[in-house]
Chain A
Amino acid sequence: MSDVDYAGSHVPTTRQVRSLAPYLYCAVLCGALAATQVVAEYGQLRAGFRPFSHAPTRVPYSWDMFSIRIDRCAMTWDPPVQIDGESVARWTDRTWPLEFDTVYNRAETYLGAAARGCMYREPAKKTIVRLVCVTSDGAIHEPQFICP
């Protein structure tokens, strides 16, 4: 096999040395990808995942989509709070319905976020915060509190 460059001229040369590069490159790239994901799965085991026993946690590159334990809450303020000059009665008033919904994984995080909304209440009025939290034990909780 002769060495011919793309323009058709003969290339005499260092072929033996240079030609290893693409193969080494490919081996390192594929090896790094595989190693990253093996380490990620090991990370899941170290974090406590056990089949049929303990749910996984979020570990990059372990492909834990839809498998971690989650809670979700809907929340409202009554009367609405004022944010960026707009009247906001529900958390979803400031999020995009398709795909880009702002969600958290823990009910406690939602409670903290709901309480933060009290900073934007109308001072003269009593503001009630209501949450509807769905948890993975199949329950729906409805905590509520008055902004301090």
Chain B
Amino acid sequence: MNHSSSVPERVSLSGHFVRWVDAEDPSSGVGAFRVVFAAIWLLYDLLDLALGTTERSLDWYPHPRDPGLVVVQIVLVATGVMLISGRGVWAFGMTAAAARGIEGFVYFPLNDFFLGSIFLLLLAHSTGGPFREDGPRRPRRTHRPHRPKWVRDALLAQLAFIYLATAVLKVNPDWLGGGHLFVRTQYMVVSWGWPYPAWLEQRLATPAFDALLAKGAILAELALAGILVARRPWWLAAALAIGIHAFGAFITNVWFLSATMIASVLLLVPREQARD
């Protein structure tokens, strides 16, 4: 062994962590995702505020609106606008995360709200967080916007965990037997006359077919979790995300979560591994 050549630098675990926190993300994917995510949920919150839909989920019969919920919805609309504009991302993102968490814990325990609170918490740091956010001391004209790499890494790890956890929790008799999908799809037929193609409606009414779809969904979610950990290939991640969530949107009438998950995969998974 030639000891005169340069010796590889040994970096401690804390050193790796410091480098990771300091690292810049070469991609603008997180910023784009912040804007798309905020736009999707701004539309949701505007509709929710105007139509009183969460209020009606709490009580379908006539009753006065809960002023606390209205305040939360107004805060979400205002912070959504600010997150799209890209100003005060940390302050408004953290406020939005808190408001979404309150909406989920205090008012209506929707998984969309819990997921939104975590995404908002991480996206609040997409320009550096409380320590290095772009601001008056870091003028945009002279510096490229700060884009911490750890935020994208954390978002991708979060996404992978969500797909893994939701796939594992689906390994139960109700889901595997097709019962859950049977309930959702037959309700859509009975209650709304949902426009499934005739051939599909006929098959969805068969628990055996629903069971087949259910098992396929678990495999697709596990595969997507694995791809999110490996961060490639982008095209397969995109195909799985679009397949899972376009199906989910049309079959089960879940649109905003579906759009969010598709956008997250398309914008956060690196398109070219070499540039990451």
Contacts and interface: CB of A to CB of B under 8 A. Distances in A.
Contacts of A132: 190-191
A30 B129 CA distance: 13
Interface in A64-81: 64-74
B154 A33 contact: yes
B192 A55 contact: no
A20 B105 CA distance: 33
B183 interface: yes
A67 B180 contact: yes
B130 interface: yes
Interface in B144-185: 150, 154, 158, 161-162, 165-166, 168-180, 182-184
B61 A67 contact: no
A117 B257 CA distance: 31
Interface size for chain B: under 10, 10 to 19, 20 to 34, or 35 or more residues?
35 or more
B121 interface: yes
Interface string A45-73: 00001111111101011111111111111
A146 interface: no
Nearest to A72: B187
Contacts of B35: none
Contacts of B175: 55, 66-67
B17 interface: yes
Nearest to A32: B121
A21 B129 CA distance: 12
Interface in A104-148: 113, 116-117, 120, 132, 134-138, 140
A72 B57 contact: no
A39 interface: no
A27 interface: yes
Contacts of B275: none
A64 to B, nearest CB: 5
Given A44-B169, A102-B56, A84 B62 contact: yes
B14 to A, nearest CB: 8
A63 B21 CA distance: 27
B64 interface: no
A12 interface: no
Contact of B184 (A23, A29, A30, A72): A72
A116 B177 CA distance: 34
Interface of B: 17-18, 21, 44, 47-48, 51, 53, 56-57, 60-62, 104-105, 109, 111, 114-115, 118, 121-122, 125, 129-132, 137-139, 143, 150, 154, 158, 161-162, 165-166, 168-180, 182-184, 186-187, 190-192, 207, 248, 252-257
Nearest 9 pairs of A and B residues by beta carbon: A136-B179, A72-B187, A100-B53, A74-B191, A55-B172, A67-B169, A63-B165, A138-B207, A22-B131
Interface of A: 5-7, 21-23, 25-27, 29-30, 33, 37, 41, 44, 49-56, 58, 60-74, 83-84, 91-92, 94-103, 113, 116-117, 120, 132, 134-138, 140
5 contacts: A49-B172, A58-B109, A66-B166, A72-B184, A140-B186
